[in-house]
Every structure is written in C-alpha cells, then in structure tokens.
Structure 1
Amino acid sequence: MDKVDALYKKYDILASAGDKVSEHEKDYLDILESVKGTPSEKRLASQFIARFFKSFPHLAEKAIDAQLDLCEDADVAIRKQAIKDLPSFCKESKEYVPKIADVLAQLLLTEDHTELLVHPALAGHPGQAGRPGNAGRSLSPRYYPGKGEGS
C-alpha cells in the first residue's frame, strides 16, 4: 500500500471512530508526520489535520505547527491548500487565532499572484464572522492588484 492510500485508510479509521476517535491518536500522529512526505501526502495531510484537530486537543500545538510548516512549503499548491484549511483551526480553538493571524499577515506579503487568490477565502475567518459589514470583505485591499491602496 502506498503512503497516500495509507493516509486515506487513517482518515477512514478516524472518521468512522465516532466518539472513540481519541483512541486512535497514533493514526493522527502519522497524519501529522506526513507533512514531510510527497506533495500528494502534504495536501491530504493539510485537510486531515484540520478535520480532526478538535479531536486531539493535547496535540493542538503540534498540529498547528505541522499546518504552518505546510503554509511555508516550496510548492504553491500545498501552500494554498494549507492556507485554505487554517480557518478551521480558529473555529475550533479561539486561543490560536493570534498565532494564526500573525502567520497570515506574513503570508499576505507574498508576491505570487496565484496565492493572492486564496486570501479572499480567509476574509470570512471566525474572528470576523457575523460582524456587520464584513461579508465578503478582503483582509487588506492593498494586496490585490488593481484594488485599493498601493495599486
């Protein structure tokens, strides 16, 4: 079985465990370790880490660090996937919002225009959700070519 298939198997184990998901910590740790794997493994890891984050609160720091490593990956597709998955961490654990916000602020400085496309997806992050006037608002208009300041 290749490593991608193994990751899917671990996902299936965790997803079907229901209330007993915490008994499968080894599977989640294996998913966390897969951030060091191939590009396919990294993209899956990003999604799976976020999906089961709330089930392993004692591994929260390790999970967030793994996700943030993916946000700094050399492959733009992996970075975009990892950034898209960040808001789910904020929804589950508000105490990590400042740390994740700091990382997002650094990531907003990117010069890669394809990466700029994921930034609007972050506009509805939990810290802004439900506040009047924030629906569909970008984090900062100066980072979008042709819009706002600095264009």
Structure 2
Amino acid sequence: MSGYYLPIFVILAGCSAEKEAAPSNDAGLHDQPVASQPPSYGASAISTPPRDFKMPDFAPQYPGSTLVSVDSAETGNRRTHEVQLTTVDNAAVIMTFYRERFAAGGLRKISDFLSGESGLMSATGEGRRASIAIAREHDRQSIIVTYSGD
C-alpha cells in the first residue's frame, strides 16, 4: 500500500513546483519601489545651461516657467536645442503664447494639436524650426521646447 503513495507524492510535488514557477497576472508589481511623493521641481532639478545659453525670440522661455533641463546636439549642419520647462499654467494658455511667438518669429505652423492638458505644435520658416510638447506631470505642466536656427 505504501507503494501507492510514492507516485502520488511525486505528482503532487511536481504540481507544486509548477505552480510556484508559473507567474501570476501581477508578477513583479509588488517588487517595484513605490514613490512616496512626486518629484521635486525645485532648484536641485535644474541642469545648469551654458553661460551663453539664451532661448531665441521665436521660441522663448515661457513666462514664469522654471527651467528644468537643456540639451543641445548637432543634427547634420544644424544645432538643435531641447529645453524642458515647468509651469502651473494650463495647456491652452501655453499653446496660445507659443502660437503668437512662432508667428511673430516668421514661422508657419505645420501642426497644432491640443487635447485637455496635452498639446503639440510645430512650425518652420526662414531657416528656423520650433516645436513644443506639453504634458501634465502631477500638479504642473511640463513643456518641451525644441528649436534650431538663428
């Protein structure tokens, strides 16, 4: 009779091992650290731009915004800048500001999309290119301004 139990134990042990090895639907979710608070947008988050860095009139820094980071790169024979800003203003107000600045800088809109608290716009003209991307991040709007040309 004890010979009957051995195969049952082997089968049960195999089933148990398979069950432990099979991932559940939420596998890994509990392994991730949980942020206790949103990231800080204070002075410690600002990347110091080069001393001679200044955003041009056709794609200026949004009034009252906080500079988060600046990245510049060569693309072909053109230097492109990407600037991240934050503000508490809503997306519609930000879009209106940049529509006016792009137009005043002689740029023609290529795209213009606003939906809720997100938006995208790009423009080109006179050897210049500019675009903005707006997205909500916690209690602020994040604005990415990308531009090239003088």
Settle same-fold status: TM greater than 0.5: no
Query: TM-score when scaled to structure 1?
Result: 0.24
Q: Which has the higher strand share?
A: 2
Q: Which has the higher helix share?
A: 1
